[in-house]
Amino acid sequence: MQKKVRKKKRRLKKSVKRGCLGIIIFLLLLALFLFFRCSPAKDFLFGHGGNDEEEIVEPDSVDMEIAEDLQRLILRSPLIDTTMLAVSVYDLTRGCYVYEYHSHRRLIPASCMKLLTGIRALKQLGTDHQYSSQEYLLGSVKRDTLYGDLLLQMDDDPLLLSFDEFTHAVKNRGISHVKGKVIFDLLRTDTLRPHQTAQPYDITYKQVPLLMKGAPRVRSEFLTSLRAAGVTYDGDTLLFNAPLKTNAELIYLYQTPLREVLKPMLINSSNAKAECVFYHNIHAQDRRSEPDTTLQMSAFDFIQSEYIYDRMADFVVNDGSGLSPENRLTADFLVQLMVYAYKHPEIRDVLIDEALATPAHPVRHGSLLGRMSDPCFRDRIFCKTGTLVSYASSSLTGYAHHINGRWFAFSIINNNSPVYDAREFQDALCRILVE
């Protein structure tokens, strides 16, 4: 009898020990799970890459207070069609969403599409990328005559306004007569046109930059400039991709930084320059080497390859300017695009310091002219506006610097609401994000 009791006691002790051990193991595993999910140790041990899951951070009291204010703003905006409204706000400082309202609804982004065009160009071409056009002599100069050809290798630079500097370079070289051909090697030979779904009057031929007006117009403008400078030529004019000869003499180089094109494109919402950047980003390449295939990516390929967003079903990207009313994006995507740019300091600095509109600024107010004029917005809102009046579409996407030092990425898309009322709503929302 005593033996049986002792055996039962031993079994009970073993069961208790196993149970305690199981509980300890479970608690250890739970602690490890929480540790790797909620702390930066994951990045320390395994590094951080585009495929890693983001650290999960919950909104704190400041974020929740902002979210409550945003919700109250939406509830008291009777003139806004809230069924066609999308809002997304992300706390960049802490790394978490603050507020979302229909943020995954596909709506017309209007000119906020330019953000995708600009950020993509800054990443793929580089923040120091330059449009480059050169003028060469292919031959020898004797007295005032070039015995050979004059070659122009022209990039699709949207800020080049005339050929006067090129013809002055010919005169400064002492040339008054070209006994040969004038050769044009143009990156773009056709005329820039808006997407067929956009209104043709949105980008008129008069608005198209010189090098986008088509090869006949480019050739005519240069030859007119040559004649005005007193330079004559004997040969024909040719249009083809000209390989450089070893004896080619560079007499003029014209360069424009990409960031100088992005300024009017984003600050003043220039549609023509946005389409120019969209085209250039696809086709830019070194003329004397193999094309860089990464530049041939579609916008969707770029988004996927950079791990910016993975829910692009039914997205529509018809152009680089946002003029197409058939474009469809979500506020959540635009916020994640701004998060992506923020995580790349070289892109973030160009956007915040140079290329995004900011209210109450003497130079960079751009399309925000007349909006957010109170001092609280100064140096705290950096954004891109979007408007398609005929489709009652208005949008605003960018960064907000809160008075407590935090940075937020935000996107607001209003469709089917009067543009004036939509802008008032957007400005009120930005006030919450800075105050």
Domain presence at residue 367: yes
User: 428: domain range?
Assistant: 61-109+329-434
Same domain, 134 and 97: no
Kindly report the backbone phi and psi dihedral angles of residue 88, in degrees, each rounded to the nearest multiple of 5, phi listed first: -145, 130
- Which of 198, 222, 257 is a domain's end point? 257
Residue predicted with more confidence, 358 or 34:
358
Task: Judge if 104 and 147 occupy the same domain.
Answer: no
Q: Residue 189 — very low, low, confident or very high, per pLDDT cuts 50/70/90? A: confident
Query: Which two three-digit tokens encode residue 133?
Result: 């056009």
Q: Are residues 138 and 253 in the same domain?
A: yes
pLDDT, tens digit, 9 for 90 and up, residues 284-342: 644 444 444 445 568 899 999 999 999 988 999 999 999 999 999 999 999 999 999 99
Asked if residues 137 and 251 have their Cβ atoms less than 8 Å apart, the reply is yes
Look at residue 34 and give its three-state secondary structure: helix
**Residue 155 and residue 82 share a domain:** no
Task: Concatenate the DSSP letters of all residues of 313-362 into one string.
Answer: TT-B---SSS--TT-BB-HHHHHHHHHHHHTSHHHHHHIIIIISB-TT-T
Q: Is the pLDDT of residue 5 over 80?
A: no
Which tokens hold the place of 84?
A: 């066609």
Q: Residue 30 — pLDDT band, cuts 50, 70, 90?
A: low
Has residue 24 been placed in a domain? no
On whether both 105 and 146 belong to a single domain, the answer is no
Backbone angles phi, psi at 302, to 5 degrees: -65, -45
Residue 430 CA, distance from chain mean position? 21
* Three-state secondary-structure class, residue 103: coil
Computed over every residue of the chain, the mean pLDDT equals: 87
- Which of 242, 257, 272 is a domain's end point? 257
pLDDT tier for residue 1 given thresholds of 50, 70 and 90: low
CATH code where residue 218 lies = 3.50.80.20
Query: What tens digit of pLDDT does each residue of 120-171 get?
Result: 999 999 999 999 999 999 999 999 999 999 999 999 999 999 999 999 999 9
Query: What was the pLDDT predicted at 246?
Result: 78
Instruction: Report the domain count for the chain.
Output: 2
From 257, 291, 310, the end of a domain falls on 257
**Domain shared by 103 and 170, yes or no:** no
Considering the domain boundaries, does residue 312 fall inside one?
A: no
Residue % of the chain over a pLDDT of 70? 84
Structure tokens at 82: 């809230």
Structure tokens given for 335 = 């916020």
